[in-house]
């Protein structure tokens, strides 16, 4: 049955087998965008294009998997997730490890133009170029963002970009000021987001069945219980850094994104949001670790300072822990990546705690147990 959804910039028509859950999430997001985000005219157009593209991609992925029994039969076995506080080197580690040819990491171009799936070593040049133009436009609107986050058509994508196609994803809470939507996904959960991610990975895996999945998103900390329900044999690398660096840095990241789209982007409001988010996220994750919901042999803790001081030694330690091997060609590819992606390549990311209404002493107090546990 075709449905018409009237949204912030007009109307969308769609027919979808998972219609009701999808429609509820889309309506929740749209209401929050309309009433709370204070979108600029250009931000409004971009948000509409964003929703339209994701709705289309959700339909294409769902239909592709449903119409191909071999895809629907794919099992996602023992994926390795990189999880932890944001701004702890997780994107750097994700892209570094993705140089190893035994891994399959979704690329950002695939989150924008996912169908049909292609082998990991044979990306579609036309779709890669289209994604490159999309990212180039965003770079013109937010040139400082390159100093903060590693992104691009051929960079490894965060899981929340995949989950966003279900409209159940933390991604929207960082990009837009949507507090009521954020509260809803915290209460409702994002099971639909993880279910869609599984389907998305099934589709891509059908084109590269021999590879293992390498996935990443700091926001998994907030929904780790659900992740483990959908991916019960997941292996996890947790990355750690002192919260006095983490919270102001992610606040700067969020504020830089939001100001592209919104008239209203308060630094102090963003600072308070990020403190609450990541404190709750670590409490959720810590409780699962303490209660052995995830067994100790299934996760590894990596300190930011160790990753940055010697990236290859950090990779070798992770591989030894999980019983993995690194061939010489992949090791050389990692060395090339390190040479081509030196730290602060696009300029240093400047921020202070004070400009986001944060206090380093208070941050240390809030996260005292976390800091003590990992000697940060």
**Integer angstrom CA distances of residue 123 from 103, 110, 128, 259, 335:** 15, 9, 7, 33, 22
Q: What is the pLDDT along the chain (376 residues), one digit of tens a residue?
A: 344 445 554 555 555 555 677 889 999 999 999 999 999 998 899 898 999 999 999 999 999 999 999 999 999 999 999 999 999 999 999 999 999 999 999 999 999 999 999 999 999 999 999 999 988 888 777 777 666 667 788 999 999 999 999 999 999 999 999 999 999 999 999 999 999 999 999 999 999 888 899 999 999 999 999 999 999 999 999 999 999 999 999 999 899 889 888 987 789 999 999 999 999 999 999 999 999 999 999 999 999 999 999 999 999 999 999 999 999 999 999 999 999 987 655 456 667 899 999 999 999 999 999 999 999 9
The architecture (CATH level 2) of 3-374 comes to 3-Layer(aba) Sandwich (3.40)
Q: pLDDT at position 346, please? A: 47
φ, ψ of residue 104 in degrees (nearest 5): -125, 115
Residue 272 contacts residue 357 (beta carbons within 8 Å): yes
pLDDT of residue 2: 43
State residue 348's pLDDT score: 64
Give residue 349's pLDDT: 62
Domain limits of the chain? 3-374
Q: How far apart are CA 127 and CA 60, in angstroms?
A: 15
C-beta separation of 160 from 362 below 8 A: no
Distance (Å) of CA 213 to CA 58, 73, 240, 261: 21, 16, 22, 33
pLDDT of residue 8: 55
Strand (E) or helix (H) holding 112: helix 108-112
Q: What is the pLDDT of residue 198?
A: 98
Which pLDDT does position 347 carry in this prediction?
A: 53
The DSSP result for 5-28, as a single string, is: EEETTEEEEE--TTHHHHHHHHHH
DSSP 80: E
pLDDT of res. 149: 65
Q: Beta strands 235-240 and 103-104: pairing type? A: unpaired
Which pair of tokens denotes residue 62?
């769902």
CA-derived radius of gyration, the chain: 20
């Amino acid at each position: 049955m075709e449905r018409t959804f009237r949204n912030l910039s007009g109307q969308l028509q769609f027919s979808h087998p998972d219609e009701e859950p999808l429609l509820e999430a889309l309506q929740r997001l749209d209401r929050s965008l309309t009433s709370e985000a204070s979108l600029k005219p250009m931000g409004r157009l971009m948000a509409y294009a964003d929703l339209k593209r994701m709705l289309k991609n959700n339909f294409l992925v769902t239909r592709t998997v449903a119409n191909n029994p071999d895809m629907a039969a794919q099992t996602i076995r023992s994926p390795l997730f990189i999880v932890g506080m944001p701004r702890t080197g997780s994107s750097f580690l994700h892209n570094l490890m993705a140089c190893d040819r035994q891994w399959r990491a979704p690329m950002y171009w695939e989150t924008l133009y996912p169908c049909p799936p292609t082998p990991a070593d044979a990306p579609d040049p036309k779709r890669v170029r289209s994604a490159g133009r999309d990212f180039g436009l965003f770079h013109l609107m937010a040139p400082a963002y390159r100093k903060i986050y590693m992104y691009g058509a051929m960079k490894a994508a965060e899981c929340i970009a995949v989950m966003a196609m279900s409209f159940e994803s933390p991604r929207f809470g960082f990009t837009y000021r949507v507090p009521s939507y954020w509260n809803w996904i915290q209460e409702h959960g994002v099971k639909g987001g993880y279910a869609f991610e599984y389907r998305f990975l099934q589709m891509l895996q059908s084109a590269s069945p021999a590879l293992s999945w390498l996935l990443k998103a700091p926001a998994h900390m907030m929904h780790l219980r659900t992740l483990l329900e959908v991916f019960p044999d997941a292996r996890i690398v947790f990355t750690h850094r002192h919260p006095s660096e983490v919270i102001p840095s992610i606040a700067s990241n969020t504020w830089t994104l939001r100001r592209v789209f919104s008239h209203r982007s308060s630094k102090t409001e963003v600072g308070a949001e990020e403190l609450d988010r990541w404190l709750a996220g670590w409490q959720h994750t810590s409780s699962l670790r303490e209660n052995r919901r995830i067994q100790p042999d299934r996760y590894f803790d990596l300190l930011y300072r160790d990753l940055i001081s010697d990236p290859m030694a950090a990779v070798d330690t992770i591989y030894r822990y999980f019983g993995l091997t690194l061939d010489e060609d992949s090791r050389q590819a990692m060395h090339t990546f390190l040479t081509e992606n030196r730290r602060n390549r696009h300029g240093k990311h400047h921020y202070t705690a004070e400009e986001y209404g944060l206090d380093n002493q208070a941050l240390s107090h809030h996260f005292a147990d976390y800091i003590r546990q990992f000697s940060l």
